[in-house]
Structures are given as structure tokens and as C-alpha cells.
Amino acid sequence: MTESEAPPAKAPEGVSGAPALPQPVLEIASGYAFTGPALDLGALLWDGRCLPDVQIRIPLPMLNRHGLVAGATGTGKTKTLQLIAEQLSAQGVPVFLADVKGDVSGISAPGQENDRVRTRAGEVRQEWTPAGFPCEFYALGGMGHGIPVRATITSFGPVLLSKVLQLNQTQEQSLGLIFHYADQKGLELVDLKDLRAVVTFLTSDEGKSELKGIGGLSTATAGVILRSLTAFESQGMSPFFGEPEFDTSELSRVAGDGRGAVSVLELPAVQDKPQLFSTFLMWLLADLFHDLPEVGDVDKPKLVFFFDEAHLLFNDASKAFLDAITQTVRLIRSKGVGVFFVTQTPKDVPGDVLAQLGNRVQHALRAFTPDDQKALKSTVKTFPNSPYDLEEVLTALGTGEAVVTVLSEKGAPTPVAATRLRAPESLMGPVDPAALDRAVQASPLYGRYAEAVDRESAYEKLTAREAQAASSPAPAAPAESASSRGRGRKADDQDSSVVEQVVGSGVFKSLARSLGTQIGREITRSIFGTARRRR
């Protein structure tokens, strides 16, 4: 059969009026005609018309192949997150959302029907029903409305902490040596004062000799780190580090009715600390990677993690930090976790990371300046070939409209589809703060994490030993018999041997005895240098 004799393309099942649809539309429709479970995003836009018979969807098993939700401010990115999160929850998939502006909490309450919702639902042929979804609300360090989320310094690790402290590469490497030293000596770094105590000791007259034993850390660099810690504390950052440490397995909870829990991290109270909250989000992801087992390809994700304001994570990041992000994103898929980065333009995400993102929802972009136009052209180049003039389409999209391409059930990119998105069924706005506080305090997790605990750790141990050393004058040497001198020399040799093997520093001699089996332990750290005490 010649090409001219080939039969016309058939419309996929469910597409009415197929003969009237142009060939490109039929091809797009065929690309989204999935047979398995999928999330419904909306209806196709073509030549200025919304075609409700052509539904644009994402296969559920492909949600762990990661994604990007991008677009200028005010184009509807937050509502897209809400729409996807609702459907994931309904299909039993837990979701994590970072609420930077404070308007995602409405996902816990049923939406309110109005003319705009009815119009949108009619345009995309959506059976809209108001619904709230099971939520847990968290707040970094308890600052704001939510269950406090804290991390210990030990588990946060040197790489992420260096990002927060804005250290350069040399200082980051030096901080890594300090962590290694504390790990080896059994000094648990629970909060900032623990780390400061260890650095202070290492810069003291008595501790300088210890620096030579951990790779030649300079006193000057240790001093810079100490000053950075002091400045960090003076900005009110202490509450974010400490115990009880948040167990990231809480993010994978499923409600009693089988719906996935939506974990909302409330961030409005720390909007002015972007380096901190973006790095904390990476700690949550790195900790999940550290703890979750390998599961390979699954019918549905174990968790979908939305990383909002993603550009903040990559700003001024070191090469080592970017490499760690890339490797984490590449490998966490096999643990059943999908990651969606949310930002304004794809150029905010490094190319190596962008290459790992199989699903794309691109809202409108602005092209008011030469830089905007350059970003627009760069964005268009990241899409597969398309029958659309994407430069024109991306600047003409309305609020709640986006250009979509996802991975099919076979893992191949679907055709590019301009889409009018569905309306979320939950409340499109924040819930009342009083209602939010009641929900937080009613959570079974509140009692577990609400009150900070300050147990004995490096600071207390070092302080106590220093005080003990200062208050205990060296005893006068009594007259000894020859036999007692012999026994004394033998005991001294044994003590000296223990000190040399375990610590190598006189100030830690008594500390070694109290730490017992913790001395010399080696903490296994992940790609990001994060560590987790087994629960």
C-alpha cells in the first residue's frame, strides 16, 4: 500500500466528532489515550478553542519519573500543584507540598462553587465536586502554623549546612572535616551550640593539636566557620536545629480511608530566609533517599514531593552541591519517589537536573525584556517538536492554562499539548488560621514533635569536662616505694595507651570514659553527607 493509499488516522476511543478534527489534534489525542490509571489535567486547546473530547492526562506510574511546573508569577502554578496533589491523594499516593505564600492550606477543605468554577468545569468537561483532603501541617522549627520540623546538626550534614551558612568550597571541605572529627569522637551534634562548642575547642590552645590530626584544618578557616555560626544564631536560626528530629517517614502516611496524606510545610513565617527553607527541603528529600528501600518500577509512587521556589536551591550552589542534587534526583526514582520542581522558567534548573524530569507543565511566560525573550527561546528549545508555534502560545496562555508534555505508559514523551486545566475541588485559598491551629493540635503527631528537647550532647559534655578540669588541681606527688613506683609507671603507660588510641588529647581523657562505646563510631553519610540515627 502506498502512502497515498494509507487509511486515515482513527480518533482514540472517547473522542467525538473525530472526522472534523485536524490531523495534528488526532495525533495529540492518540498520545494521551492511556489505558491505565492516570491523573486528569484538562482539555486540549487548539486554534483558540477548547476541545473537551481530547483529555490531557499523566499516567500514574510515570509520576515517579519527576517533573517540572514552571511559569511566570500569577499564571496558576499553585493551583496546578493543588490539582495534581488532590488526584494523587485520591489514588492513595502521599504528597508533600511546600507552601511558600500560605495559600495551599485550602487543600484540606472543600472548595466553594461559583461562576468561575462552573464555567471552567463546563469548558473542560469536568464533573466538579467539592472535596477536602487529609492533611498534616508542618512549620520549620515551629515558626508559624504547623507541627515543628527540626533536624539535628549531625543528620543535616556538612554539605547542606555549608549552603545555609554560605561557606565557600574550602570552608565547606573544612566543615566536613569537623563533622568527621565529631563523628569519630562520638560527639553528637544536636543543635548549633554543639557544633559551636566543637569548633571553639578546635580553635582553642588545647584543641589546636587536634586540627593536625584531621587533615590540616587551619585555625583561620575554623575561625571563619565559628563566626558564621555565631551570625547564623544571632539571626534567630537556632529553633530549626535540635530534637525531637522529624522522622521523614511521616511524609509517606496514608489516611484511614485509603487516601494519601498531603503534608503541607507552611513557610510564610520564614519567607525572608530562602537559603534556609530551600536547603531544609533538600534535607527532607535527602533523608528520604537515605532511608527508603529500593522498590524499582511501581504501579504508583510511594510519595510525590513538590519542591517549590526551586531556583533558591540552585542559586550560588557549589559544583559538589549540584552534583549531589543531580545524583539524588536520578536515584530516588527507584525508591518510588517522584520529585516536581516548581519555578518560573526551566533555565532556573541546571541542565543535568532538567534532563531527569520527564513530565512538564509550562504555564505562561512573559517576554517584556531582552532577557525574557532569551529565556522564552531557551524554554521552547527544551520541548519536543510540536505543531504549535510555542513562542507565540507560551506568551498567550491565560491563567490556568499550560503547555504539557509527559511520559506515556511506555516511557516515551507525549505530544506537546496546550491545555486548559481543570479546577481544583478543594478550597482555592488559605483556611482560617484558627482552624489551621486546631487541625495542627488535633494531629497525633503534635505531641511527638511540639516540645523541643535539649538533652546532653557535645556542648554539655565539653562544658562539663572543661569545668571539671578547671576545678581539679593536679595532686602533689607523694613519696613512693620502689614497688609502688613500678605499679604507677605501669598504670600510667596503660592510661597513656588508651588516650593515644582513642582520642590523642588530654582534655578528652575523662570524656572518653563517659562516652563508652560511642567513641570511635563511624557515621555512615549519604550523597549529601546527611546521617540518620536508626530509629
DSSP conformation letters of 440-471: HHHSTTHHHHSS-B--S-HHHHHHHHHHHHHH
Q: Cell 522529624 sits at which residue?
A: 246
Q: Which pLDDT value is given to residue 473?
A: 63
495-511 average pLDDT score: 39
The strand ranges marked E within 227-319 are 262-266, 303-307
H/E element, 136:
strand 135-140
Number of alpha carbons in the 13 Å side-chain half-sphere of residue 87: 21
- Angle between helix 319-332 and 153-165 (nearest 10): 130
Residue 480 pLDDT more than 60? no
C-beta separation of 185 from 503 below 8 A: yes
What span, in angstroms and rounded, lies between the C-alpha atoms of 259 and 264? Answer: 15
**Around Cβ 46, how many Cβ atoms within 10 Å?**
18
What span, in angstroms and rounded, lies between the C-alpha atoms of 290 and 532? Answer: 8
The structure's pTM equals 0.84
Q: Which pLDDT value is given to residue 237?
A: 86
What span, in angstroms and rounded, lies between the C-alpha atoms of 70 and 101? Answer: 16
What span, in angstroms and rounded, lies between the C-alpha atoms of 20 and 22? Answer: 7
Nearest to 135 by CA among 290, 265, 227: 265
- Cα distances (angstroms) measured from residue 353 to each of 154, 278, 310: 27, 16, 11
What span, in angstroms and rounded, lies between the C-alpha atoms of 435 and 1? Answer: 68
353 CB burial (10 A radius; 0-12, 13-18, 19+): buried
Please write the tens of the pLDDT for every residue from 64-123: 999 999 999 999 999 999 999 999 999 999 999 998 888 899 999 999 999 999 999 999
C-beta separation of 383 from 403 below 8 A: yes
Please write the tens of the pLDDT for every residue from 28-68: 999 999 999 999 999 999 999 999 999 999 999 999 999 99
504 contact partners, CB below 8 Å, separation of at least 6: 209, 210, 213
Please write the tens of the pLDDT for every residue from 217-270: 788 888 899 999 998 888 888 899 999 999 999 999 999 999 999 999 999 888
Angle at 52 between CA 59 and CA 12, to 5 degrees: 60
Instruction: Determine what percent of the chain is predicted with pLDDT higher than 90.
Output: 56
Residue 447 pLDDT more than 80? yes
Residue 518 pLDDT more than 60? no
Task: Write down the mean pLDDT value for the chain.
Answer: 85
**Alpha-carbon radius of gyration of the chain:** 28
**Around Cβ 183, how many Cβ atoms within 10 Å?**
19
Question: Which of helix, strand or coil describes residue 276?
Answer: helix
Per residue, the 3-state secondary structure of 376-389, as one string, reads HHHHHHCCCCCCCC
Residue 444 pLDDT more than 70? yes
